[in-house]
Structures are given as C-alpha cells and as structure tokens.
C-alpha cells in the first residue's frame, strides 16, 4: 500500500475562494482523521470518521469548514469561503483501530492570500 495519499501537496488561493483538500486512506482502515497544524496549537483535530460516518466534528473551527467521506477510500475537507487565517498545513491520517497508531499523509500546505 502506498500509504495515506493527500492532494494537492500545495495550494495557494485567494481569499473568498473555495478550497477542497483530498485524502485517500490506507485500504482497510476504518478510521480517518483530519488535522490542521499551526504553530500555536500544534496538531489540531478537526474531524474524524469511523466507517465513513462522521463521529466528532467539534474541532471544525467554523461553518466554513465541511468534510465528507462518500466511501471508504476517499475523503474531502472543504473550506468555503477561505480566509487568510486558514493558512496552515492540513493532514489526513487513518488507522484500523482506535487504540493503535495512525498513519499520516504528507499534508497539504494551504496558503490563502
């Protein structure tokens, strides 16, 4: 397996535009997590799914953020409209069991200008 795959690796967009980040988890993993990395808060959990169902989205900062997992092999994190303070690195991670280590993708570096 190629690991967790995120796309794009880098995204630069103008304020107000819609941004969609994509993630392909490792096959067979039932859990998928979206994190945002910032200097102040480190790795911040935004939302996680179990068997494609969103379980906890309490970390999603605002209604501008939404996430979906239409099937076991694909998830998206959407920001609409984007703002400069959304600039960060966004990571997707997956695991087969909640009490085991999660495997991370390489991240998407988002810059909103």
Partner 1 sequence: DQQVKQNSPSLSVQEGRISILNCDYTNSMFDYFLWYKKYPAEGPTFLISISSIKDKNEDGRFTVFLNKSAKHLSLHIVPSQPGDSAVYFCACISYNTDKLIFGTGTRLQVFP
Q: Residue 1, interface with partner 1 (CB under 8 A)?
A: no
Of 13-21, 62-70, 74-82, 91-99: span binding partner 1 (CB under 8 A): 91-99
Q: Residue 87, interface with partner 1 (CB under 8 A)?
A: no
Q: Residue 2, interface with partner 1 (CB under 8 A)?
A: no
Tokens of 39: 């200097």
Shortest CA distance to 24 belongs to which of 98, 108, 97, 88?
108
Residue count, binding to partner 1 (CB under 8 A): 25
Residue appearing with tokens 């995120």: 6
Binding map of partner 1 across residues 11-50, x = CB under 8 A, - = no contact: --------------------x-x-x----xxxxxx--x-x
C-alpha to C-alpha distances, 11 to 3, 26, 92, 94, nearest whole angstrom: 21, 23, 15, 22
Q: Residue 98, interface with partner 1 (CB under 8 A)?
A: yes
Contact indicator for 45, 38 with CB cutoff of 8 Å: no
Find residue 50's DSSP bridge partners: 31, 53
Return residues touching partner 1 (CB under 8 A): 4, 31, 33, 35, 40-45, 48, 50, 55-56, 91, 93, 98-99, 101-107
């Amino acid at each position: 397996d190629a690991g967790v795959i995120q796309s794009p690796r880098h995204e630069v967009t103008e304020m107000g535009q819609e941004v969609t980040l994509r993630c392909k988890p490792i096959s067979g993993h039932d859990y998928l997590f979206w994190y945002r990395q910032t200097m102040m808060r480190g790795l911040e959990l935004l939302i996680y799914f179990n068997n494609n169902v969103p379980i906890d989205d309490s970390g999603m900062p605002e209604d501008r953020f939404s996430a979906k997992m239409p099937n076991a092999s694909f998830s998206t994190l959407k920001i609409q409209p984007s703002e400069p303070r959304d600039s960060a690195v966004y990571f997707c991670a997956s695991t087969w069991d909640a009490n085991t280590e999660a495997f991370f993708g390489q991240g998407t570096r988002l810059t909103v200008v």
